[in-house]
Amino acid sequence: MTQSKALIAERYRLIESLGAGGMGRVWLARDEMLRRDVAIKEVIPPEVLTAEERDELRLRTLREARAAARLNDPNVVRIYDVIQTEQAPWIVMEYVPSRSLHQVITDEGPLPPERVAQIGLAVLSALRAAHAAGVLHRDVKPGNVLLADTGRVVLTDFGLAVFEGGDGAVTRPGLILGSPQYISPERAREGTSGPESDMWSLGATLYAAVEGRSPYARSTTYATLTALATEEPDPATRAGVMKPVLNALLRKDPRARAGVAETERLLQRAAAGEGRGFSWSLPALPRPRRSREGHSGSSGIRTSRSAGSVAPVSVPPGGASENSPGPFEARIEFLGRARGSAVVDPPRPLDVAPDDDDATVPPGQRWKWIAAAAAAVVLAVVAVIVLSDRDTTPPPVEAPATGQAARPTSAAAGSPSPTVSASPQVQGSFGTDVMQLPPGYHYETDPAWGWRVAVPDGWIKKPHESSKSMVYFQSNTDPRMRMGVDTTFTPPPDAVADWQQQERSRLRSGMYPNYERIGIDPVTNYHGLCADWQWRYDSSQGGRMRVSNLGCRVRPDLGHALYWEVPDSMWDSEPVTTMYGIIRVSFRPKPA
């Protein structure tokens, strides 16, 4: 879009690109007036954005500059100027020859605990200054921590920051952005941000530095968010003296999480007490390359392609996401508001945009990532989304009857898993509230049995041939894909044991040709005492199928089973996992 050597605002001469991504580009530039090198972030709105969204992006850019400019700390990239042009806004900032912590981890692997403690003290200093000024960063992660060639450690990219008295809700009412592997549980659950949220992200960042991966590194965004909602952080095996720090910061209850003072004390202890009372820096790093102006290629914006990085403000360089094997990690917008920002009303569906360290999301894939977000929000209820798939063999799902867990239908099928693993671990705490659905879905309710669930538009409702308690919904485009809900008023006390008994009984009857068990596993934090029975079998109607039959004892007098069946070959596809995720997260049993 912009030519090298171009002159911006008759003052800043662009020298070379330092990084680019889905929302813009970062340049090394020369300030012709003051004769110094600067980094300039060029915000390039994606073509898919509407005029209103482009205006919001401009406001977000201005907010970012204001948030960073009000901070006076050596561990924060300094903002020099903001330029508004007809094409796009530009942010002029301090040029910091550096590599991002993410790049260092990628190049060198896990770092020594003592060095990580020093990095932590520097980032903590930046967060202390930000919080004292009423600024919440909201996107602390390895890609936003710069390790300068001089040894200085800098926190950059205040693109998601909000502050009291500012325009924190500018990015569309009710939406909050974040990077899945480093976002705090309360942001995923409630969409709210406080200083505690930044402290969690600091803990996750330091975990990644010492372990070489984030505490919730999974094969997909969906799996990451699900783990965040339902599991404790992965055990740290390399942390050493950093373990007390990580344990204190990665507490899911924000009220129990370590604050700045406690974290500083623990980090100083981990760093052997060095650096008290002054700005933290690290031994100088060798400059990986030099720009045409004789400077290494980094600034206040990172770039994952080259050794030099620039401190990014929300400009994503291309490449793989941090600690993610997938093509890119999603940046997720959750319903809710940050403390100190405008109240959002009414709630709207989640939106997902590509993370700063990843490739751009094609317009048609936008809702796939929203779905991935919902999985994490399972714990929340205010969000929407997950991954799913369906199939068409007609075996009905039977809810746990007396002494039985919700039974799978007579014909088994493959149900898509939101993760690459066998079971779609969509877990979390659910209430009776109504979840906002993404386009293409509507709610179906059953007046007799009292449940409610999201169903893809166009799917056909079909009662079971012999069971009045079982209701199916079949795809109108691929009859092999289907989902069902069964109900019983006499659920068994042990869903796992009941599925095991049902499995033996059905195999004796020859119900599932070439049956292959994937697992019968308990599911926590869903709707009561639940177990998920998954298997594959050969269907005369659709070939090799995969099924998930999720049976729950909601309460002593009510049990439901959620049945999902799709061709085995489709199980792990994003459209299918997204669909199943939305269905599973949206399901609500009959109220008490």
Catalytic residue list: 139
Rounded-to-integer distance, Cα 46 and Cα 450, Å: 44
Q: Are 110 and 209 in contact (CB under 8 A)?
A: yes
DSSP code of residue 241 = G
Determine the Cα–Cα distance for residues 135 and 197; give it in Å rounded to an integer: 12
| Surface-to-core class of residue 402, CB atoms within 10 Å of its CB (0-12 exposed, 13-18 middle, 19+ buried) | exposed
- List the Cα angle 330/332/335 in 5-degree steps: 165
Q: Which residues contact 537 (CB under 8 A, 6 or more apart)?
A: 412, 413, 512, 513, 514, 515, 516, 544, 545, 547
Inter-residue contact 379 to 429 (CB < 8 Å): yes
Burial of residue 275 (CB within 10 Å: 0-12, 13-18, 19+) is middle
Query: Which amino acid, one-letter code, is at 54?
Result: R
For 206-341, list the strands marked E by DSSP: 330-335
Q: Any known ligand binding at 141?
A: no
The phi, psi pair for 117, rounded to 5°, reads -60, -40
Give the pair of three-digit tokens for residue 372. Answer: 């991935």
Burial class (CB within 10 angstroms; exposed 0-12, middle 13-18, buried 19+) of 358:
buried
- Residues 332 and 486: their CA atoms lie apart, in Å, by 33
* Residue 28 contacts residue 297 (beta carbons within 8 Å): yes
Rounded (10°) CA dihedral 279, 282, 286, 288: -80
- C-alpha 103/C-alpha 306 separation (Å) is 9
Annotated binding site for ATP: 41
